[in-house]
A and B are shown apart, each in its own frame.
Chain A
Amino acid sequence: MNDVAEKAPPFAFLHGQAVIEKPEDLYIPPDALEIILETFEGPLDLLLYLIKRHKLDILELPILSITQQYVAYVELMTELRLELAGEYLVMAALLAQIKSRMLLPVHEELEEEEDPRAELVRRLQEYEQYKLAAENLDQLPRLERDILVARALVDESEVPVAETPEIALKELMLAFADVMARAKTFEHHQITTESLSTRERMSQILHYLSENDGQCPFTKLFKVEEGRSGVVVTFIAMLELIKEQLINCLQVTPSSQIYLSLQLQE
């Protein structure tokens, strides 16, 4: 056993005695360390690793030695220029803080005071819990790796295939053009009514007035059945006629009936 240990570096004996004596020295070949460091999932993971490596119970976390080791790792990480996440430094600060609190004398009367390690131990345990849960999850049989789904095909000749034709962009364009054409017709329709009426309505009004002794009440000229646009058109026609001085607008007293009359030819 001894002569083997002399020939080979101690770190090679994972299951030998030589390794068990070594951990205190934090001896890990730099190459191996680099690989290890890259596989850590964060400061909690690194702490757990350190605790495990020293076969320590999380619950008996020896803060001083763990802090020393942790800081040594963080320094090595910097030296190796690994991307050092701020989380690692936060943890180093937390460890230092816990250590300093533990150095303070304990007041026996202050029973309520919590062990400064408690919070960290809780977090470590919680993290370990989910780290194990993740490992269990990885062990679960899963599709692609362990499970192959068995499927059968349907005999195509027997199945009434519901054809969903491919729609080419061209067809989509044609369909759209169709809609546009219809919309255009609709638009035209509206425009015709409007342009047609003002002039036409002006003559209608003049005609109506001349047939009714040259005058009639304002409201009489509106046909509500024509709707809003009809009413508007009639009104514009009236204004147009007044402007052209073809008709007169009369009101005897405020808020009484308004009358329209043909302009008397002079």
Chain B
Amino acid sequence: MCVMRRVSDEQLIELIEAAIFVSETPLSKKRLRETVLKEVAASGVRVDEAIRSISEHYQTRGVQLVEVGSGYRFQACKRLTPWLSHLWQEKAPKYSRATLETLALIAYRQPITRGEIEQVRGVSVSSNIMKSLQEREWIKVVGFKEVPGKPALYATTNQFLDYFSLSGLNMLPELPEQHEVKIDQMLSDPSVRESSE
């Protein structure tokens, strides 16, 4: 057993704040504990409290602490983006409707096969779309469906959540509602039936 170093609350806050700032990827509490806080005596409650305190501190500043899929990161306040974006030459990439629809289906209906995506969209999904989504590490194969042909089942990744600044899938905008009841009404109501023209 190594000797756990005692730190004050202020020291803990400093350490966590700096760790999140210098980490190349979002930093989860688990990784924080396994790396930076490995030799520091700090209970989970104290870490939570420190993170809360950092988050509060940045409420009025140009950067903010946010929690995304794979952990905590600092990001510039969204309202500043139009000004800040002048720092870069190239424009942010735009994604085609086909890509977004495919991604939406995987995000909301995961795990899902390519065939199931095609069924909903009514067109075949191009291999390029699946490949580029996998290359961006937004989706990955999580298994194979127990049906003939054993098609791959796709799901979204933490990197997907990070990119869209979501802390979890439950933070996705709610799926627009289908009017199941209305369909049934239509089917039972003969007056809606079209007259034979």
Contacts and interface: CB of A to CB of B under 8 A. Distances in A.
Interface of A: 39, 41-45, 59-60, 62-64, 85, 87, 91, 102-103, 106, 114-115, 118, 121-123, 125-154
Interface string B155-195: 00000001111100000110111110011001100101110
Range class of the B interface residue count? 35 or more
A125 B124 CA distance: 19
Contact of B75 (A44, A59, A64, A148): A148
A142 B186 contact: no
A132 B190 CA distance: 30
Interface string B47-79: 000000000000000010000000001111010
B187 A41 contact: no
A160 to B, nearest CB: 15
Given A128-B176, A145-B93, A152-B18, 10 more contacts: A41-B97, A43-B122, A62-B194, A106-B190, A130-B108, A131-B97, A134-B100, A141-B78, A141-B165, A151-B21
B120 A126 contact: yes
Contact of A146 (B78, B95, B123, B190): B78
A122 B166 CA distance: 30
B76 A147 contact: yes
Given A63-B194, A146-B81, A149-B74, A154 B22 contact: yes
8 contacts: A41-B121, A85-B124, A125-B178, A131-B97, A135-B100, A137-B173, A143-B162, A149-B74
Contacts of B166: 140
B147 interface: no
A128 B163 CA distance: 25
A149 B72 CA distance: 11
A59 B21 contact: no
B92 interface: yes
Interface of B: 18, 21-22, 24, 63, 73-76, 78, 81, 84-85, 92-93, 95, 97-98, 100-101, 103-105, 107-108, 120-124, 162-166, 172-173, 175-179, 182-183, 186-187, 190, 192-194, 196-197
A127 B122 contact: yes
Contacts of B172: 137
Nearest to A144: B92
Contacts of A123: 120, 122
Q: Which of B84, B101, B163 has the most C-beta atoms of chain A within 10 angstroms of its own C-beta?
A: B101
B105 A130 contact: yes
B121 to A, nearest CB: 6
A97 B122 CA distance: 17
B101 A150 contact: no
Q: Which of B103, B194, B196 has the most C-beta atoms of chain A within 10 angstroms of its own C-beta?
A: B194
B179 A140 contact: no
Nearest to A87: B123
B122 A42 contact: yes
A115 B22 CA distance: 62
Nearest to A128: B176
A148 B76 contact: yes
A129 B69 CA distance: 25
Nearest to B93: A144
Q: Which 3 A-B pairs have the closest CB atoms?
A: A42-B123, A145-B92, A152-B21
Given A118-B187, A140-B166, A134 B104 contact: yes
B81 A147 contact: yes
B122 A87 contact: yes
A137 B104 contact: yes
Contacts of B98: 41
A149 B66 CA distance: 10
A137 B100 contact: yes
